């Protein structure tokens, strides 16, 4: 949830989309992972080679968290805007036990 809220917040604050512009969220469960995508109508950005925190500012740690906590992540431009995605590894049995 933390990583999803970071990406949705980035889409709202930084995409340049107007009020009421759609943001799409897709979550897919695979055998050993969750794949999450946030798509917005903005221009997007290229994934930086390195993501380092800027300790001189408050905030701005969303992509640092995505980079450090996900198995992998990236960006892509779509026909309708741009997308940031990430993959989280999970132990399916442990996840089901926690959800019960």
Give the pLDDT of residue 77.
93
pLDDT tens column, 4-24: 999 999 898 888 777 788 999
Q: What are the sequence ranges of the domains in the chain?
A: 2-99
Distance from C-alpha of 62 to C-alpha of 65, rounded to nearest angstrom: 5
pLDDT of residue 100: 57
Q: What is the C-alpha to C-alpha distance for residues 75 and 82, in angstroms, rounded to an integer?
A: 7
In 10 A of CB 96, how many CB atoms? 10
pLDDT at residue 96, rounded to an integer: 60
pLDDT tens sequence across 44-77: 888 888 888 777 777 778 899 999 999 999 999 9
Q: How far apart are CA 40 and CA 25, in angstroms?
A: 9
Q: How far apart are alpha carbons 83 and 41 in whole angstroms?
A: 9
pLDDT band at 93 (very low <50, low <70, confident <90, very high): low
d(CA 65, CA 81): 23
CATH of segment(s) 2-99: 3.30.565.10
């Amino acid at each position: 949830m933390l990583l999803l809220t970071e990406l949705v917040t980035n889409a709202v604050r930084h995409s340049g989309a107007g009020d009421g512009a759609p943001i799409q969220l897709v979550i897919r469960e695979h055998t050993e992972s969750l794949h999450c995508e946030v798509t917005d109508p903005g221009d997007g950005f290229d994934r930086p080679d390195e993501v380092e925190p800027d300790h001189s500012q408050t905030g701005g740690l969303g992509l640092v968290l995505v980079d450090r906590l996900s198995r992998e992540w990236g960006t892509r431009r779509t026909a309708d805007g741009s997308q940031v995605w990430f993959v989280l590894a999970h132990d399916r049995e442990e996840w089901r036990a926690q959800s019960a």
